[in-house]
Amino acid sequence: MINRKEKKKVPAINASSMADISFLLLAFFLMTTTMEVDTGIARRLPPPVPPTEKPPDIKERNILKVNISKNDRILINDKIADVRMLKDQAKEFLSNPYNREDLPEKRWDTIPALGGLYEVSKGIISLKNDRGTSYEMYIKVQDELTKAVNELRDELSRREFGISYMSLKNDEQLEAVRKAVPISISEAEPEEYK
Amino acid sequence: MGKFVKKGKKEVPAISTSSMPDIVFMLIFFFMITTTMRQSDPLVKTSVPSASQVEKLEKKSLVSYIFIGPPKNAKLGTESRIQLNDSFATLDDIPNFIFAERDSRDEVDRKFLTTSIKADKTVKMGIINDVKQQLREVGAFKISYSSRKDVD
């Protein structure tokens, strides 16, 4: 009698519902989460300007005026233009490869990773838009301007380090390229409409 | 003869499903680690514009979102509205929203806070300018214009 009792096993716990429970959890996480990485055009806003401060004097040749009208038309230096022309104009303006008189001046800046002194453009792109400008057009313009800067950075990076800007891993080199070709976009203070 | 009879009686063993939960749990952990919780229910339509020079927003936990677009509910009209967290807001709510976002982060992380402007394509720049002015005044200088990657 005693022998028989010892042989009796504890019944196994039925684990078949475990799968159902974990599927439920899985479904919950699938529903509540987002996979896609958020992407966007990064910008830095300027700190607010005290009303008493006068705008700095900038030479005519150092400014590229880009205006977007309320009908999404573009004026570059007061001439009607197309978005597709913007990138090339901005590139020429920011690099001034032949040191032309009507394009921006350059100043010498010490960038050790680029072998000491490097000529950084003084050019500033002045972006102005109307309250009625569509956001889509604004982003298009910002995108073209970023493209111009990124292409210049890429050219510099290939010339100096032999690899593209996107594949630069060295922080010092990355910083140097960014300093040599800054994103100098200045947005006009919105005007008060009365 | 006896041999054949014996063979017919043999049953096909049931497939063990005991490893099924393990597999599913593995999937759960994968999803838990690779994803973040959905922030809020969108009340406004935000079909963001596309651009080619987009950058990834690093560290999702350090991003606060401002949604701008026409309301999803057609009864509320087509005028662009601002959405902060889970409700409609006005321009004057933005400073408090930014302060609240800052307070909820660690002191060391605060200067890395980015504000992502998720605005619909059709939104006019007037409202975006106003939002940007508000952000400037409270010192939230790091912004990102949310846009999709172009396929060209």
At A22, the pLDDT band (50, 70, 90 cuts) reads confident
Classify residue B13: in a domain, yes or no. Answer: no
Of B24, B114, B124, the CB nearest to A19: B24
Classify residue B122: in a domain, yes or no. Answer: yes
Of B17, B130, B147, the CB nearest to A40: B147
Cβ distance A131 to A193 under 8 Å?
yes
Asked if B142's CB is within 8 angstroms of A25's CB, the reply is: no
Q: What is the largest distance, in Å, between two alpha-carbon atoms of chain A? A: 112
How close B40 comes to chain A (CA, Å)?
A: 10
Cα–Cα distances in angstroms (integers) from residue A180 to residues A88, A92, A104, B103, in the given order: 19, 15, 15, 36
Contacts of B119 in chain A (CB under 8 A): 135
Of A29, A39, A68, the CB nearest to B32: A29
Q: What is the pLDDT of residue B5?
A: 56
Q: What is the pLDDT of residue B6?
A: 57
Contacts of A136 in chain B (CB under 8 A): 49, 121-122
Q: What is the pLDDT of residue B2?
A: 54
| Coil, strand or helix at A37 | coil
Residue B55 is part of a domain; what is its CATH number? Answer: 3.30.420.270
Ranges of each domain in chain A: 60-186
Residue of chain B whose Cα is closest to the Cα of A71? B124
Query: Which of A33-37, A85-89, A122-126 is the least confident region?
Result: A33-37
Classify residue B82: in a domain, yes or no. Answer: yes
Q: How many separate domains does chain B show? A: 1
Q: What is the pLDDT of residue A191?
A: 62
Q: What is the pLDDT of residue B4?
A: 59
Separation CA B40–CA B118 (nearest Å): 13
Is residue A75 over pLDDT 70? yes
Q: Does A51 touch chain B (CB under 8 A)?
A: no
| pLDDT block averages, 10 residues each, chain B of length 152 | 58 80 84 70 81 80 86 82 84 87 83 86 86 86 86 64
Residue of chain B whose Cα is closest to the Cα of A20? B21
Q: What is the pLDDT of residue A194?
A: 38
Q: Which of these, B120, B118, B123, B50, lies nearest to A140 by C-alpha position?
A: B50
Classify residue B68: in a domain, yes or no. Answer: yes
Rg (CA), chain B: 26
How would you class A105 by CB atoms within 10 Å of its CB: exposed for 0-12, middle for 13-18, buried for 19 or more? middle
Q: What is the pLDDT of residue B87?
A: 83
Separation CA B133–CA B127 (nearest Å): 10
Is residue A73 over pLDDT 50? yes
Is residue A1 over pLDDT 70? no
Range of the domain at B89: 50-149
